[in-house]
Structure 1
Amino acid sequence: MELITEPPVLFLDEPTTGLDASTANAVLLLLKRLSRRGRTIIFSIHQPRYSIYKLFDSLTLLALGKVLYHGPAEQALHYFTSIGYQCEPFNNPADFFLDVINGDSTAVAASRGEQRTRDSVDTGGGGMAEEEQGVDQSVVEALHQQYLSSSHYRDTRDVLKKVELSQRHEQGKPRRVNEVTYANGFFTQLYWVSKRSIKNLLRNPQASVAQVAVTVLLALIVGAIFFGATLDQQGIQNRVGSLFFITTNQCFSSVSAIELFIKDKKLFVHQYTSGYYRVSAYFFALLIGDLLPMRTAPGIIFSCICYWMIGYQAAAGRFFFFMLTLVLVSYAATAMALAISAGMDVVAIANLLITICFVFMLVSTERGWRGRGGAH
Structure 2
Amino acid sequence: MKSAIISSKRDDSVYDIDVKSYRYLSTTSHHKFVPLSINSSSKGEVSFYDIDYIANGRKMKCKCPNICPSFLKEKPAKQILYGLSGNFKTGMHAIMGSTGCGKSSLLDILANRKDRHGLSGQIFVDGSPAPSSFKYMVGYVVQDDIISETLTIRENLMFSANIRLPRDVSHVERVERVIKVISDLGLESCADTTVGTEFIRGVSGGERKRACIGMELILARKIFFLDEPTTGLDAATARKVMKCLSNLAKQGRTIIFSIHQPRYSIFKLFDTVTLLSEGEMLYHGQAKNLLNYFSQQGYSCEPHDNPADFVIDVLIDAQERPGALENLRLAYEKSSMHQHVMKLRKQQFIDVNLQIRTSRKSAKPTISLWNEFYYICLRTLKNTFRNPSLILSQIVVSIILGLLVGLVFFDLKKTTDPGGSQVLHNVGLDYTTNWDLWKNFFGLSMMTVGLFLLAYIQLRRIKKTK
**TM above 0.5:** no
Higher gyration radius (CA): 1
TM range (shorter): 0.3 to 0.5
Of structures 1 and 2, the one scoring higher in RCO (CA 8 A, sep 6+) is 2
Name the TM-score, length of structure 1 as normaliser: 0.42
Larger fraction in helix: 1
Larger fraction in strand: 2
